[in-house]
Amino acid sequence: MIKIETVLDILKKDGLFHEIIDQGHYHYNCSEVVFDSISYDSRKVKEGTLFFAKGAAFKKEYLLSAISQGLSWYVAEQDYEVGIPVIVVNDIKKVMSLIAMEFYGNPQEKLKILAFTGTKGKTTAAYFAYNILAQGHHPAMLSTMNTTLDGKTFFKSALTTPESIDLFDMMAQAVHNGRTHLIMEVSSQAYLVKRVYGLTFDVGVFLNISPDHIGPIEHPSFEDYFYHKRLLMENSRAVVINSDMDHFSVLKEQVEHQEHDFYGSQSSNQIQNSKAFSFSATGKLAGDYDIQLIGHFNQENAVAAGLACLRLGASIADVKKGIATTRVPGRMEVLTQKNGAKVFIDYAHNGDSLKKLISVVETHQTGKIALVLGSTGNKGESRRKDFGLLLNQHPEIQVFLTADDPNYEDPMAIADEISSYISHPVVKIADREQAIKTAMAITNQEIDAVIIAGKGADCYQIVQGKKEDYPGDAAIAERYL
Q: Is there a binding annotation on residue 432?
A: no
Task: State yes or no: 123 annotated in a binding site.
Answer: yes
Contact 312, 421 (CB under 8 A): no
Q: Do the beta carbons of residue 464 and residue 358 sit within 8 Å?
A: no
* Burial class for 103, CB neighbours closer than 10 Å (0-12, 13-18, 19+): buried
198 is in an annotated binding site: no
Any known ligand binding at 161? yes
Q: Is 42 annotated as belonging to a binding site?
A: yes
Handedness of CA 329, 412, 386, 204 (dihedral sign): negative
User: Which amino acid is located at 117 in the chain?
Assistant: T
CB 303 within 8 A of CB 280: no
- Residue 67 one-letter amino acid: I
Please choose, from the candidates 288, 126, 291, 110, the residue with its C-alpha nearest in 3D space to the C-alpha of residue 204. Answer: 126
Question: What residues contact residue 440 under an 8 Å CB cut-off, 6+ apart?
Answer: 337, 341, 343, 370, 450, 477, 480, 481
Strands (E), 305-464: 333-336, 342-346, 369-373, 397-401, 427-428, 449-453, 460-463
For the chain, counts of helices (H) and of strands (E)? 15, 24
User: Would the annotation count 188 as a binding residue?
Assistant: no
The answer to whether the annotation marks 160 as part of a ligand binding site is yes
Q: How far apart are CA 292 and CA 326, in angstroms?
A: 7
N-terminal to C-terminal alpha carbon distance within the chain = 56
Beta-bridge partners for 260 = 239
d(CA 163, CA 63): 20
122 is in an annotated binding site: yes
Q: Residue 361 contacts by C-beta under 8 Å, 6 or more apart in sequence?
A: 342, 344, 369, 449, 451
Q: How many CB atoms lie within 10 A of CB 210?
A: 19
The reply, when asked if residue 118 is annotated as ligand binding, is: yes
- Known binding-site residues for ATP equal 118-124
- Known binding-site residues equal 42, 118-124, 160-161, 187, 195
